[in-house]
Amino acid sequence: MNLHTAARAALAETDVEAKLAAAARLIADWQAGRLTSEPWMDPDPIVEAGRPPRPELVSPERLPRRELSQPLGHAALIHALAHIEFSAINLALDAAYRFQGLPADFYTDWLKVAAEEAQHFRLLREHLQGLGHDYGDFPAHAGLWALAQKTAHDPLARMALVPRLMEARGLDATPGIQRKLAGHQDAAGAAILDIILRDEITHVAAGDRWFRYFCAQRGLEPEPTWRNLILTSDVPKPRPPFNATARLKAGFSAEELAGW
């Protein structure tokens, strides 16, 4: 079976459990040699990723602000984190589906990321269910997928603006969220974020590695290219303070971080 058609089917899947199972099956099939990565032209490229009818997607400005000290606010935070992980499954599947004719290691990286994001989502969903709610009970926004659409034309832009920009912001935010959860007696939630932070460092590192690969192909200097892409694109700018320890492990340089 062709990897790109299999990844496309998983990306288009709207049932949550089926998508999680497909993400796990893809990496297993790829590593077992049951998939080939021959380029495949899609006559009808995917524009919208498959997702369930809920949660309702709204603009970030319409998301209600809730206090973590209240049960509903606590659940809403876990739901928001789960939605980020669900979106990240689709982003990784889309990279494997959309960008064809690349080295096999590219597909190994992004299929592995998709499977790990699926596990993150499962952990957060189960935790959310323990709080009396489920995925879909709160509104969410589609900012990450919108950025995937903007970068669908260019794998260099995708690596620069999704893992290396947006997902790296998660490295910065996670320790603060963990402290808040621990402060509200949610040790289990903070422990899940330990797992997510560990894995997300490797995900951002994969984005960094392939961004540098595409820059080398085009004779571009990576760090100035990344900065110029951010400054000329309609995207959030990096905002200190950074989780320097995590970012350095993921491939950023100290000089690069100091430049913001």
pTM summary value:
0.96
Q: Is the pLDDT of residue 66 over 80?
A: no
φ, ψ of residue 57 in degrees (nearest 5): -95, 130
Q: pLDDT, tens digit, for every residue of 171-210?
A: 999 999 999 999 999 999 999 999 999 999 999 999 999 9
- In sign, the C-alpha dihedral spanning 31, 34, 36, 37 is negative
Per-residue pLDDT, averaged over 47-58, amounts to 95
Q: Is the pLDDT of residue 136 over 80?
A: yes
Query: Can you tell me whether residue 40 is helix, strand or coil?
Result: coil
Confidence (pLDDT) at 35: 98
Confidence (pLDDT) at 41: 87
Q: pLDDT, tens digit, for every residue of 144-160?
A: 999 999 999 999 999 99
Confidence (pLDDT) at 216: 98
Predicted confidence band at 103 (pLDDT cuts at 50, 70, 90)? very high
Per-residue pLDDT, averaged over 72-80, amounts to 96
- In sign, the C-alpha dihedral spanning 216, 221, 227, 233 is negative
Q: pLDDT, tens digit, for every residue of 205-249?
A: 999 999 999 999 999 999 999 999 999 999 999 999 999 999 999
Mean pLDDT in the chain? Answer: 96
Confidence (pLDDT) at 69: 87
Q: Is the pLDDT of residue 43 over 80?
A: no
Domains recognised in the chain with CATH numbers: 74-258 (1.20.1260)
Query: Can you tell me whether residue 2 is helix, strand or coil?
Result: strand
Per-residue pLDDT, averaged over 39-65, amounts to 89
Q: What six digits make up the tokens of 136?
A: 């879909």
Contact criterion met (CB below 8 Å) for 120 and 195: yes
171 vs 230: CA distance, rounded Å: 18
Q: Is the pLDDT of residue 126 over 80?
A: yes
